[in-house]
Amino acid sequence: MPRILKRVAIIIGISLIALITFLFYSLSVTFANWPWTRSEEFLSGSYRGFAISSDKRKSFDRSIELQRGGAIRALTLLDAKPTTFAEMYRGAPIRESDFPRVSESDRWRLGLSECNCWLVLEFAHGQLSKLTRYEYHGPTI
């Protein structure tokens, strides 16, 4: 009987070591490119045709232009409550008729279609004061 217990203890010990090794490996692979979201701020100049210090109308027109070209999936107003189901869950395509509502918001999120990235446009006194580009590099479900 003691031999059997000794073998069971060895098997359990080896299994635990293998499990712990696997968990450490999994964590190291998961966090290999930490932080997953990288950002780049623009406080002057321009990026993708959005010029810092331009007014909301010019930024809105540029958003429409980029959407028509397929570069933008959706516009989300970060400081306004969503009004439609589509806007609530995934943003919504932009239409020219949306400008009065969009112009009331000072923080816009533009989802880019070519990567897992987005732009956040921040306005102060009706002018674009900061543009931040975010890119997500982490695991997806």
Model pLDDT for residues 83-102, shown as the tens digit of each residue: 766 666 666 677 888 888 88
Judge if 6 and 52 occupy the same domain. Answer: no
Rounded Cα distance between 75 and 59, Å, is 12
Judge if 67 and 116 occupy the same domain. Answer: yes
Model pLDDT for residues 37-93, shown as the tens digit of each residue: 888 999 999 999 999 999 999 999 999 999 999 999 888 888 877 776 666 666 667
Question: Would 141 be classed as within a structural domain?
Answer: no
pLDDT at 92: 67
Judge if 63 and 132 occupy the same domain. Answer: yes
Q: Are 41 and 130 in contact (CB under 8 A)?
A: yes
Whole-prediction pTM value?
0.70
Q: Are 105 and 78 in contact (CB under 8 A)?
A: yes
pLDDT at 71: 92
Domain assignment of residue 90, given as a range: 37-136
The DSSP symbol for 119 reads E
Judge if 130 and 76 occupy the same domain. Answer: yes
Rounded Cα distance between 133 and 7, Å, is 58
Q: What is the pLDDT confidence band of residue 107, given thresholds at 50, 70 and 90?
A: very high
Judge if 54 and 73 occupy the same domain. Answer: yes
Question: Could you count the other beta carbons within 10 Å of the beta carbon of residue 124?
Answer: 10
Rounded Cα distance between 108 and 50, Å, is 12
Mean per-residue pLDDT over the chain, rounded: 84
Judge if 61 and 102 occupy the same domain. Answer: yes
Q: Are 111 and 21 in contact (CB under 8 A)?
A: no
Distance of CA 120 to the CA centre of its chain: 10
Rounded Cα distance between 72 and 94, Å, is 9
Judge if 42 and 110 occupy the same domain. Answer: yes
pLDDT at 36: 77
State the amino acid at position 40 in one-letter form: E
Rounded Cα distance between 28 and 117, Å, is 24
